[in-house]
């Protein structure tokens, strides 16, 4: 991948800042924070667009955002004064003209993303202060990047699920790096797009509630596809529409295999302190595994299944049921010896089930706990798409930047975990 270059610029890519606490407008309390964005796919591009259209920050800490670096699969740009809008536009156009090998576009990263001269760049970013590394890729192997960035005091915000489902010991090193430096590590966008699922779970756990079970339709993508099936749309067409809308992963096979939902289930379970690994999940794909091989074009494989899925959907409809893709987490009880169970797969549910009424790409999480024993705590809303996911990313960016040296101890505590 080409080394991001330092370029002279006249119109930096940034958002406006606000004025003083009292509204005097002299900017004495204003500050500009720096973003280094990895990936310019569906989510990354939307993040950049939302940054450019942010309203002036009129409430403390009056943070404006300046994009100092962007790395895509095809190249990048790095300028501590802010990447020029024209250069950024060229990068995005170049990416759009070079689709990924599977016929679509990726989230702006190969499977093995490597930052050129990484240590030097991270050192430069750390010297800037108030800098957030934003990962909008679907790249493998980002754990080391996060650890190196956090150890230098850089905040890290990610929409990439893969680093969070690495072996537990590896993930713990990321949180430990954040705890040592006082930097913030946030990942709300990894589960449920823009829905506040991670924050809700963290609030319950930190206030002493005990979660007993979680039932969730975590994939807005598969929710969209199964809803289209219920409407009589062929499977192949439903998947193609979801991909065109930006709902799917870079490779839709990950959605159809349930791998993406399994990753989300692991992230959710680990928020509860459950020592779960990805291989512990009982996983069933939406479509037969043989249809997801790479020896044949995916669309061709799916078209062969259109008739079978149409028959199954019609039979369910006649019984008053609907096909949905669910993740179920039943938390174990050490006293009774009951083990935690995590099951992910397609299920036929009655039409009065909460998930049966989900429309489009909506997602749902129902949490049963000691404080919510009968009527579960439900988080529901759009579960896929660039705009809502980018909103979660930028929300995490601003939450990270609210941190100051005065609350470093609190941030360090929030960053540490212990799995039971």
Q: Residue 55: what pLDDT?
A: 82
Cβ(252)–Cβ(297) under 8 Å? no
The reply to whether 206-382 shares the fold of 31-193+388-415 is no
Q: Rounded to whole angstroms, what are the CA distances from 35 to 142, 149, 200, 409? A: 17, 13, 26, 24
Q: Residue 104: what pLDDT?
A: 32
**Gap between the Cα atoms of 194 and 396, Å rounded:** 11
pLDDT tens digits for range 135-157: 999 999 999 999 999 999 999 99
Q: Tell me which CATH code domain 31-193+388-415 carries.
A: 3.40.50.720
Q: Residue 22: what pLDDT?
A: 38
Q: Residue 176: what pLDDT?
A: 98
pLDDT tens digits for range 76-113: 889 999 998 888 888 777 555 444 333 333 343 443 34
Give SS3 for 38. Answer: strand
**Gap between the Cα atoms of 100 and 177, Å rounded:** 34
Please state the domain extents for the chain.
31-193+388-415, 206-382
E strand map for 39-95: 63-72, 75-78
User: Known catalytic residue: 264?
Assistant: yes
**Gap between the Cα atoms of 308 and 58, Å rounded:** 56
Give CATH superfamily name and number for 206-382: Dihydrodipicolinate Reductase; domain 2 (3.30.360.10)
Q: Residue 360: what pLDDT?
A: 87
Q: Which of 45, 161, 243, 264 is catalytic?
A: 264
Specify the pTM: 0.84
List the chain residues with pLDDT less than 70.
Answer: 1-30, 57-62, 94-117, 403-420
């Amino acid at each position: 991948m080409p080394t991001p270059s330092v370029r002279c610029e006249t119109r930096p890519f940034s958002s406006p800042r606000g004025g003083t606490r009292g509204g005097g407008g002299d900017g004495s309390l204003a500050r500009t924070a720096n973003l280094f964005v990895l990936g310019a796919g569906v989510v990354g591009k939307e993040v950049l667009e939302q940054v450019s259209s942010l309203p002036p920050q009129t409430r403390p800490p009056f943070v404006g955002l300046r994009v100092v670096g962007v790395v895509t699969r095809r190249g990048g740009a790095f300028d501590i004064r802010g990447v020029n809008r024209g250069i950024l536009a060229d990068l995005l156009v170049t990416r759009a003209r070079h689709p990924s090998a599977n016929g679509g576009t990726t989230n702006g990263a190969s499977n093995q993303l490597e930052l050129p001269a990484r240590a030097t760049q991270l050192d430069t970013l750390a010297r800037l202060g108030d800098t957030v590394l934003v990962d909008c890729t679907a790249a493998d192997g980002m754990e080391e990047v996060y650890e190196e960035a956090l150890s230098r005091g850089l905040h890290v915000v990610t929409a990439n699920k893969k680093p969070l489902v690495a072996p537990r010991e590896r993930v713990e090193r990321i949180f430990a790096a954040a705890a040592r430096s006082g930097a913030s590590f946030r990942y709300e966008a990894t589960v449920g797009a823009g829905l506040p699922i991670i924050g809700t779970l963290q609030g319950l756990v930190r206030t002493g509630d005990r979660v007993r079970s979680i039932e969730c339709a975590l994939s807005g993508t598969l929710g969209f596809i199964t809803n289209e099936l219920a409407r009589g749309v062929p499977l192949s067409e439903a998947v193609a529409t979801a991909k065109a809308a930006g709902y799917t992963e870079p490779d839709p096979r990950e959605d159809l295999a349930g791998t993406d939902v399994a990753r989300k289930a692991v992230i959710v379970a680990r928020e509860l302190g459950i020592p779960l690994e990805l291989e512990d999940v009982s996983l069933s794909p939406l479509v037969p595994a043989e249809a997801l091989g790479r020896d044949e074009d995916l669309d061709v494989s799916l078209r062969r299944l259109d008739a079978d899925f149409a028959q199954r959907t019609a039979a369910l409809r006649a019984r008053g049921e609907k096909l949905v893709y669910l993740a179920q987490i039943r938390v174990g009880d050490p006293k009774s010896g009951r083990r935690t169970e995590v099951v992910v797969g397609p299920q036929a549910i009655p039409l009065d089930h909460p998930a049966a009424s989900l429309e489009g790409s909506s997602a749902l999480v129902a949490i049963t706990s000691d404080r919510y024993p009968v009527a579960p705590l439900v988080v529901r809303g759009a579960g896929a798409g660039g705009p809502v996911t980018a909103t979660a990313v930028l929300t995490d960016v601003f939450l990270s930047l609210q941190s100051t040296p005065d609350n470093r101890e609190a941030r360090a505590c929030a960053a540490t975990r212990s799995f039971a």
